[in-house]
Structures are given as C-alpha cells and as structure tokens.
Chain A
Amino acid sequence: MTAEIPNELWRSLFRQAARSQPPPDGEHPVQDEELLTCWSAGQLPDEQHAAVVEHLSQCSPCRRELAELIEACLLQLPPPPASPQGDEEPEPIVAAVLRPRRFWRRVRTWGLGLAVAASLLIALALFLLPRDPGTDLARAEQDAYEAARAELEAGHYDRVVELIGKAADQGIDSGRLANLKLQAERKLPSETALASAGTLLAYGYDLGGVNPDKALPVLDKQTKELLKQWEEAVKRHPQDAKLQENYGQFLLTLGRLEPARRHFEEAARLDTRDADARIGLGLVAFLAEEYDGALKQFEEALRLAPDSVAAHLNAAICLEKLQRPADARRHRRRALELTGDAGLRKQIEAFDKAGKQQP
C-alpha cells in the first residue's frame, strides 16, 4: 500500500482524462479564422458563442489549439463583459485592496515567520493609531486608486473593473475611481483619453486636415451602456475635471459636438491649468469646422503645456486649413522634435517632403 498521492498527480489524472476525449465530428471552430476574428473583436453573436462553448466543451484538440494560440499571443481574447452577468455577483471580498485569499497565498510563499512579523506590526499599528473612519476610507480610496491606475496603465482592464467594483462594495467611491473604471471599459490605458487620442489624426484627419473616410459613429448596445454609466458618473461627481474631460472626449467620438464642448468647458473651468481640456475644445471646434476658434484653443493649450505634441500637431493642421503653410510647418517641426513616436515622425516627414515637391 502506498502513501496518498500528491495533488499534482490528481490534477494530471484530470488533465489526461480531459485531453483523451474523442473529438466530435463536423466543423471545428478553432479552424475557422473568420469566427476567431469576430470572437476576438467581441463581435460574435450570442448564439454562435454558445455553439463555440458547446463544441469546445467536447473537443479536446480545439481546446488545445485555442490555448496554444492564446499562449503564443496569436489570438487576442475578446473583451470581458462590462459588468457581472445575470444573477452572478462579484466575489464578496472585504475590499479591493485587501484580497484575503491572495494574502494567505503570499503568507505561504513568504513563510510563516514573515507573516507573523507582519501581523504583529499591523496589530501594533492598529493599537497605537487613533481610529478615524474618514481617514481609513480616504486611505482605502487612495490605495484602490493607485492599484487601479497601475492595472489600467498595464492594460489589465478587467482587473481595474474588478478592483473598483470591489471598492464600491465597501462604499469606496470617488470621481477618479469612476473615471478609471470608465477608461478601463473603453480599453484606454491612460487616465486621460486625450493622451492617446489628442491629435486630429486620431479622428481620421491627415496632416493636411482632410478626413478621407469619415466613419459613422457606432452607437451599439455597449456604447449606449457606457454612455449611461458616464452620465451617472458625471452626475455623481460633477467636480471631477478628468471625468468631465474624458466624458467630453467620449461624446466627441460619438459626434456629439455640443455636449462634448460643454464638458470640455466644464473641465477647463474646474482645472484652469489643464492643457488637455483646451485640446478637447480645439478638437470640437475643428470638427465643427471653426478653424480659427480651434487654433486659439490649441494655442492656449501650448501656453499651458509648451511641449505638447498633440497641441503642436493640431495647431499645424488648423494652420494648413487656414492657408498658413509656413506657420503650420513651424509647428510640425516642433512636433517632430518632441515626439518619440516613430510612425508619427515618418508621417510628418513624408507630408513635408510631399509639400516640397509640389509646385
């Protein structure tokens, strides 16, 4: 008689049983590249998704292939649902930043001695420090914010939503947390949407200010849901400049210029030193074909942030529209000096070269 076998072997037993399933007949979804493309883009209709799940649950080779594609980063995973579905609720964990199970896992990893020492320190701190529920909450908000921002910048969007959801369960709420959550829902890796979408190039314009294929804004179910969430967040935290500014940018992408302008104006009023709010106002004006007004806003942005690549580039595009090519070139040159984006550098150089070749 042997001793009890270790967990690893039990798991191997399970793995072998799972992998020895005979594959079902018929089409294999993992071989259908169009289906994978739609899936990856979150564009697979529910009924097809259900059929894929059903197939994968029976087909070991497809599961294996899928896992390999994911592991090799050849298949981007579809975005997760924006919020918990149906009757399912997020795990009831004390607070986003506390995560007890991970904590205990770490305790195991670090060793008991370290854990005991940490516990003693915490106990001592709790004993010595005066308790102030307001301070505790503020500290927890700060922790949640820092953790969520780090996850956002790392592109772990679902983690941001998870963290902020858990914080909300603990009554921790703030404008900046709401802003991070909405940024994560939009899959934007920065606290400021204009950080990645601050130039007119991001709205389909070229360096000459021409938009060859103006696309219709998408207003699907997900966008409507996001719009609703944003309205609620701004209503709840009207004093948060970043939230106002990002909402303005979101409205801008939907082609809602006037509401976008109002929110950028509010952001500029709340934070008079915010160059991004001025860039937002400039973008709105440009899209509304008010080129003089747009230029003023971009110049104001440059006064606040003289090294803003987006503001220089946008000003250059406005100046092209206003038939002032020499001034435009000056701003493009400055953008070229400032930018670290190789693609943008090439674009500017090609544009200037083409300009020189013209009679």
Chain B
Amino acid sequence: MPAKVRLGLDPASNGTRPGLFEEDRAWLSVQPGMNPWQEGCDRLVEQLHGWLAEYVRALGLAVVTAAHPHAAGYLRRLWACWGYHWKIAAAEASGGIGGAEVAERLRGGLGWLGDGRLGGDVLRDVVLAEAMLRHDNAALDCFEREYRSYAIRIAGTVRPDLAACPDWWNELLDRLAGVSEPPGKLERFLGRAGLQNWLGTVVRRFLWDRSRRDPAEGERAEPVEELPAPAGRGQPAETLISDECLELFQGLLHGAFGRMQPRERLLLFLHYAEGLSGKEVAAILRIHPGNVSRSKERALEQLRTELLPEEAALAGRAGTYEECLQHLLGGSARRSFAGVLTEALRQATEAEVRA
C-alpha cells in the first residue's frame, strides 16, 4: 500500500502532508535521500508511520491505524521532533546528514548539542506525550510507572516534605495531560529534550508555582520592592524624586533602552535590575565569565551614548526636566543625567547589585 494512502496524508485527502515538510523544505531538500523531493517525503512519511506503529506497540497504547483521525497528530509530533534534531545535526555536520543516522542516535537518547544526553528516546517520548494528551489510559499508566518516582525525587530537591508526601502527583498528571483543563502541558512537548529531562524542569516549576500559590507554614512571599529610601539618610524616596520627575527620567531611559543593542540592554537589565551575578549573566548571554566586566563596561558606555542626545534635546525644551535634574544633583557641577546614572551603576559592587 502506498505510504500516502495508508497514512491519510495525501495532499488531496486532507492537506496535511505539504504542511508537514514544506516548512522545512529549504534545509531538508538538500539532505541525502531527499532528492527528488516527493519521493524523499514519501520515504519520510513511511518511516514516521513505521515508528508510530512500533512505539504504539511497545508502549501498549490504543492502536492508531492509518485511517484513525488521530494518526496525523502523532505523525506531526514525530516529525517535529525528528526534523528539529535533524536540522541541528545537519548544521553541526556542516552539510548533509541522513535522516536514518539522526534517528539512530535519537533512539539511543543522544542529540547533537551540549553533552548530547537528551534524557531518553525522544521519538518514543513524543508518541507517549501525544497519547497522554489523548487521555489514553495505557499511556497514563506507563507515564506513572516510569516517571513517578523520578518526579518525587526531583520534588525532594525543591522541598523534602514534597517527596515525603507526594499528594501533588495527581494534580501534576492532570495538568500534564490536560484532563480537567485542556490543553495539557504536554501539548508543548516536542521532543527537543527527553521526557525525563523535561519533566525535571516541569516538576520544579509546578511545585514552585504551587508553593507560591499556597505557601507552606513559615514561608511568606517576599514583599514587592519599591524605590528604597537611601541608605543612611532615612529620607523617603518620594521626597527625593517626585512622580513627575520619576516619569520623566523613566521616559528618558526607555528611549535609550529602545536604541541599545539587545545583548547590551539585557546584560544591564539582568545585572542591575534583576540582581544576577556576573557569572549568571555570562551563562545567560553565553559569554565567557572573564569577559563580563568588559561587556558591562561597553553596555554602560552604550547606555550613556544613547542617553546623551535624548537628554540634550529634552534639556533644550522642557523646564521641568531642568528642575528635576537640578533637584537631584543638588547644584553639582556634574549635570549630566547620563553621566551620573552610568557612574552610579558602574560603582555598584556585586553584593550591592544582588541586594
């Protein structure tokens, strides 16, 4: 039986096939075995179908025949996973790589980036995820059997009592599969990471959200930070900056932020607004920790450069701005808002930033 008929993916039948591979045509069409395009696509579809049958059998799921209305959903998810990793593999290999080679590695739980460990066979995992979203009892049982104890172990790293009393498990399962409130969290699971690794992040996040919602005894939410009174002076902030001036300066900053490069802007935000350490900022921006200070210096210089013309334009037009600035600087000779602000940021130590 020809694959396209068997799968119900004939463009003429429901229009799924073009959507399945067309988006990836630019990189996919140059991979080994994909020329001519149509034949290559047929082979891919056949392969996807083969995996679907294999995993459905291995996981003991309800049978999904070619004519089954859910089949296309499973295949789309399988392709999203295979295609995602294949594209990365092709880029890493600086050229073409066969889809079978990619799949073999994925089935061994390995990808191409980082240490390669995905945390399981991602092709199997997407089939299980799709089945769970379809509330297949066998899938839910399988998931519970395979991942419950792992999830409980993870919970113990968030708070030991959560591992001792896993009363949250059913709620998590419900949220994952979207039983009482579709779509479940698994809707967004595409096999970019293995289900086990993904679950680690989800469990931590889920329990964290839950504990923020219902804090345990002794835990209290942190108060929301407002402009603090300057240390050692005891003066409330509003006596130093009026709402009008605050709005004015914020407008000035927003204008400058908008013109900064995203990386520089993010570096300043993460460090000075969110209080992350240089090491954490480096990890987020993928820069070497040894380069953070210099990058920060460059970003501050960029902020100053972007603020100066805006400030000059404002200074020429608005009397209020002059008054605000004079009020803040107290007649200091350093009358540039840009200069004073960047200097203040520059002088902040890591401990002050974190505080």
Contacts and interface: CB of A to CB of B under 8 A. Distances in A.
Contacts of A34: 188-190, 192-193, 198, 201
B237 A12 contact: yes
B96 interface: no
Contact of B254 (A21, A57, A64): A21
B51 interface: no
Interface stretch (B70-78, B133-141, B142-150, B324-332): B324-332
Contact of A17 (B117, B257, B262): B257
A166 B288 CA distance: 13
B193 A159 contact: no
A171 interface: no
Contacts of B198: 33-34, 37
A1 interface: yes
B78 to A, nearest CB: 16
Nearest to A108: B349
Interface stretch (A38-46, A127-135, A315-323, A346-354): A38-46
Nearest to B240: A5
B285 to A, nearest CB: 7
A85 B287 contact: yes
Contacts of A75: 201, 204
A124 interface: no
Contacts of B249: 13, 17
A67 B274 contact: yes
A151 to B, nearest CB: 11
A49 B349 contact: no
A15 B280 contact: no
A105 B158 CA distance: 35
A66 B348 CA distance: 22
B193 A158 contact: no
A264 to B, nearest CB: 23
Contacts of A58: 262
Given A17-B253, A221-B92, A38 B193 contact: yes
Given A43-B111, A45-B88, A80-B286, A57 B269 contact: yes
B260 to A, nearest CB: 8
Contacts of B217: none
B110 A84 contact: no
A222 interface: yes
A156 to B, nearest CB: 8
Contacts of A161: 288-290
A76 B329 CA distance: 42
B213 interface: no
Contact of A158 (B118, B192, B263, B282): B282
A355 interface: no
Contact of B327 (A1, A66, A80, A159): A1
A43 B190 contact: no
Nearest to A101: B293
A53 B114 contact: no
Contacts of B193: 34, 37-38, 41, 43
B228 interface: yes
Contact of A53 (B111, B190, B285): B285
B263 A218 contact: no
B341 A40 contact: no
Contacts of B253: 13-14, 17-18
Interface string A51-88: 00110111010011011011010110111110111001
Interface in B259-293: 262-263, 265-266, 268-270, 272-276, 279-280, 282-291, 293
B200 interface: yes
Contacts of B33: none
Interface string A211-248: 00101101011110000000000000000000000000
Given A19-B273, A44-B113, A5 B289 contact: no
Interface in A1-23: 1-21
A34 B345 CA distance: 35
Contacts of A14: 253, 268, 272-273, 341, 344-345
Given A9-B241, A216-B105, A43 B114 contact: yes
Contacts of B266: 53, 56-57, 63
Contacts of A287: none
Contact of B276 (A57, A70, A213, A222): A70
A206 interface: no
Contact of B288 (A1, A37, A84): A84
B290 A16 contact: no
Contact of A78 (B188, B283, B289): B283
A57 B266 CA distance: 4
Specify which of B253, B275, B283, B294 lies most central, judged by the most chain A CB atoms within 10 Å of its CB: B283
Contacts of B288: 80-81, 83-85, 88, 90, 158, 161-162
Nearest to B105: A216
Given A2-B240, A63-B270, A77 B283 contact: yes
Contacts of B92: 220-221
Given A6-B233, A42-B115, A215-B110, A78 B286 contact: yes
B280 to A, nearest CB: 6
A80 B283 contact: yes
Nearest to A55: B262
Given A5-B240, A7-B348, A162-B290, A18 B272 contact: yes
A282 interface: no
B208 A10 contact: no
A1 B330 contact: yes
B287 A216 contact: no
A15 B113 contact: no
Contact of B291 (A37, A42, A74, A90): A90
A130 to B, nearest CB: 34
A35 interface: yes
A295 to B, nearest CB: 30
27 contacts: A6-B230, A6-B232, A9-B228, A10-B340, A11-B272, A13-B341, A18-B268, A18-B269, A33-B201, A34-B189, A42-B115, A53-B262, A56-B270, A60-B269, A67-B275, A72-B208, A74-B208, A78-B283, A81-B286, A84-B287, A85-B286, A91-B290, A159-B289, A161-B290, A215-B110, A218-B116, A220-B116
Given A5-B240, A14-B344, 16 more contacts: A1-B326, A1-B330, A5-B230, A17-B257, A34-B190, A37-B198, A38-B193, A44-B113, A53-B285, A63-B273, A80-B282, A81-B288, A85-B287, A105-B349, A162-B288, A220-B116
